Amino acid sequence: TTSVMWFRGDLRLIDQPALREAVAAGPDGVVPLYVLDDRLWGRGAGVRTAYLSRLLSEFDERIGGLHVVHGPPEREVPRVAHAAGADSVHVSASFTPYGTSRDDRVEKALDVPLVRTGSAYAVSPGRVVKGDGEGYRVFTPFYKGWLDHGWRDPAPAVRDVPWLRPEGRTHRIPEAGVPEDVTLPPIGERAAREHWRRWLEDHVTDYADERDHPGLDTTSRMSVHLKWGSIHPRTMLADLAPLGSDGAAAYRRELAFREFYADILHQRPDSAFGYYDRRFEHLQYDEPADDLEAWKRGETGFPIVDAGMRQLLAEGWMHNRVRMIVASFLVKDLHLEWTHGAAHFLDRLVDADLASNQHGWQWVAGCGTDASPFFRVFNPVTQSKKFDPDGAYIRRWVPELAGVSAPAVHEPWTMADPPQDYPAPLVDHAEERREALRRFEALRRFE
Ligand code: FAD
């Protein structure tokens, strides 16, 4: 018998339970399938497509030929399965709104079973529930429930897969150029594992103390590998388990945040693009204009905001603390809906993840789960002084301020002679804070 392994966000061979199932079900051959789906392929400003194109090539070479097809999965997957005479099609379960509906359509179109084994999470969405069977809405109790639930040990690597290459044309992997000036992160399973091992050796112990300081740049940058499935979080949790440090515990908690947001999105698929707290539909917002463009370019005149936005353009990644600062600025200083900022992030991030991004944004905007209260407005200067005290992060990304030292680097407008080529502040933060709070007050009648 033969089977099809339909790879999606899980292009790896280690800790890959769906592939183990595919091999068990298809001892005579497993077709390694990848479908270029126009609904997903080519989305975004190009960094993600460039990354995926290279990731596919790397995997193709590694397994000696990936069977790539192009078209709607509900047409292509049954066609390939039929041509190969496969008895089953295997996937890791998807939990995004699009992924679940796509898989349901494919399942209906197939005349052999679509077998879902595992997912991109240590504990799949929907599994951690309260006593009444409902999902959690608040992180801390979810985290406790998640730890209590526990997860399996990593699945052993699958060796000697009897890969089967069907006759007929394989679509070539489209080449996608890297957008100008963008540095892509390392690519593929081997790179991910090596990067992870090195990071564990060098940085995990100090993670709890250092994670909020963008200038140090010592967070793991594993988000990109988790997004593309080059490593499974269970592998990472198993590596963290024997370490007793506060850093290892703090890191495990961050991985749980990723699983929490996936669970929330699963509970409330409408929260991908709509307000989790629906009261916020009534908040008064401004229409985006030049201010949104200045924010995207990193030309707001607030150094920490501009540094973050420019890091995003240059690397397709931004430090978590700075993601929070720039998001707060968009919502509470520019009074724009979070969706404008979230869309730009999805467009530009190589690690763009629907659940973590949309809920990261909604948390900052005050309308998400467990949200930081709306009235807690981040002050970009205070945040900057606290988390980038010597201004190293700002100087790295804002060359106009390269010669300015702290504390002036956090608020160059206080200098007697500020650099002429750096913009003046787009807004008066104190004034916009008052305005944000005034608008928020008006929401109270919807409580
Ligand atoms: P580390 O600090 O090394 O953390 C380890 C891992 O834990 C991360 O790789 C990630 O998988 C997970 N994690 C850490 N913090 C969070 C968090 N707050 N929420 C969910 N998971 C977390 N993360 C994404 O993966 N994709 C996104 O599109 C995304 N958009 C975001 C948007 C906003 C507005 C905010 C505030 C946060 C967003 N995050 C997103 C979460 C977080 O910023 C990134 O996961 C983190 O910066 C990635 O860098 P790292 O791997 O070095 O993180």
Degrees (nearest 5) of the Cα angle 235, 311, 10?
25
Alpha carbons 299 and 295: distance in angstroms, whole number: 6
Asked whether residue 256 falls in the same domain as residue 377, the answer is: no
Sign of CA dihedral 26, 228, 69, 71: positive
Whether the CB-CB separation of 305 and 294 falls below 8 Å is answered with no
Residue type, 406: A
How many domains in the chain?
Answer: 3
Whether 351 is in the pocket of ligand 1, judged by its Cβ within 6 Å, is yes
The reply to whether 64 falls in a domain is yes
Residue 260 alpha carbon, nearest atom of ligand 1: 20
Q: What is the pLDDT of residues 28-43, one digit of tens each?
A: 999 999 999 988 877 7
The residue whose CA is least distant from atom 13 of ligand 1 is 254
Angle at 425 between CA 424 and CA 426, to 5 degrees: 110
Position 75 in a domain: yes
- Please tell me whether residues 72 and 138 are part of one structural domain: no
| Residue 257 CA to ligand 1 centre (angstroms) | 8
The best mutation among 200, 254, 330 to test binding of ligand 1, ranked by most ligand atoms within 8 Å of the C-beta, falls on 254
CATH code assigned at 380: 1.10.579.10
ipTM value for the complex: 0.99
CATH code where residue 113 lies: 3.40.50.620
Q: Whose CA is nearest to atom 30 of ligand 1?
A: 357
- 67-92: pLDDT as tens digits: 999 999 999 999 999 999 999 999 99
245 and 373 assigned to the same domain: no
Residues 41 and 148 both lie in one domain: no
Q: How many Å apart are CA 304 and CA 325, to the nearest integer?
A: 8
Ligand 1 atom, smallest distance to 233 CA: 11
For residue 221, how far is its CA from the centre of ligand 1 (angstroms)? 9
Torsion of CA 441, 383, 354, 301, to 10 degrees: 90
**Residue 119 annotated in ligand binding:** no
**Domain enclosing residue 245, as ranges:** 121-155+189-267
Closest CA to ligand 1's atom 17: 257
Q: Separation of 87 CA from ligand 1 center, angstroms?
A: 39
Distance CA 103, CA 107 (A): 6
Question: Does 98 fall in a domain?
Answer: yes
Specify whether 78 is located in the same domain as 150.
no
- pLDDT truncated to tens, each residue of the chain (447 aa)? 999 999 999 999 999 999 999 999 999 999 999 999 988 877 766 888 899 999 999 999 999 999 999 999 999 999 999 999 999 999 999 999 999 999 999 999 999 999 999 999 999 999 999 999 999 999 999 999 999 999 999 988 888 899 998 877 778 888 877 777 788 899 999 999 999 999 999 999 999 999 999 999 999 999 999 999 999 999 999 999 999 999 999 999 999 999 999 999 999 999 999 999 999 999 999 999 999 999 999 999 999 999 999 999 999 999 999 999 999 999 999 999 999 999 999 999 999 999 999 999 999 999 999 866 778 899 999 999 999 999 999 999 999 999 999 999 999 999 999 999 999 999 999 999 999 999 999 888 776
Residue 340 lies in a domain: yes
What's the CA gap between 248 and 268, in Å, rounded?
30
In terms of domains, do 112 and 128 share one? no
In a domain, 312, yes or no: yes
Note whether 313 and 345 are same-domain residues.
yes
Q: Are both 8 and 106 inside the same structural domain?
A: yes
The vertex-220 CA angle with 9 and 95, nearest 5°, equals 25
Mark whether 318 and 249 lie in a shared domain: no
The CATH number of the domain holding residue 206 is 1.25.40.80
